[in-house]
Amino acid sequence: MADEKEIQPEEEEEELIELIDDDGNVIKFRLLDVTEYKGEKYALLLAAEPNDAVADDEVAIFRYKEQEQMLEPIEDEKLLEEVFEYYQNEDIGEDD
C-alpha cells in the first residue's frame, strides 16, 4: 500500500531537481516540461526557490541526455531562444 502512495502524480509534481552551479551552490528546480526539437530532447526548468542565478519568471533550458539521465548546459543563446520559441508555439498548438 505504501508503494502505491509513493507513485501518485501529486507527489511526483513535488519532486525537485538539484543542480550545482560553477561556484558549488545547489540550485533547486521544478521540471516544467521536456520537449523535442530537431531530434534532441530539452528539459525546461523553473526555479523552485528564490536564488541569484535564475529569476523567478526565467525558464532554464538544458539538453536532456535520456540514456545517461543527464542534463547538459547549453551555451548557444540562439539555440536557447529557438528551443523556447518552439516550446511556446508547440504549447499553443496543443490548446487548439
Residue 77 within any structural domain of the chain = yes
At residue 7, the pLDDT reads 40
Q: What tens digit of pLDDT does each residue of 7-20 get?
A: 444 444 568 899 98
Residue 1 within any structural domain of the chain = no
Residue 2 within any structural domain of the chain = no
At residue 76, the pLDDT reads 97
Residue 24 within any structural domain of the chain = yes
Helix then strand count (H, E) for the chain reads 3, 5
Q: What tens digit of pLDDT does each residue of 48-87 get?
A: 988 877 888 899 999 999 999 899 999 999 999 999 999 9
Q: What is the pTM of this model?
A: 0.75
Long-range contacts of residues 34-40, Cβ cutoff 8 Å, at least 24 apart: 34/64, 35/83, 35/86, 35/87, 35/90, 37/82, 37/83, 37/86, 37/87, 40/64
CA-CA-CA-CA torsion for 62, 66, 70, 74, nearest 10 degrees? -20
Domain count, the chain: 1
Return d(Cα 39, Cα 41) in angstroms, integer: 7
The SS3 assignment for 44 reads: strand
Residue 72 within any structural domain of the chain = yes
Which one has a higher pLDDT value, 90 or 43?
43
Range of the domain at 75: 8-95
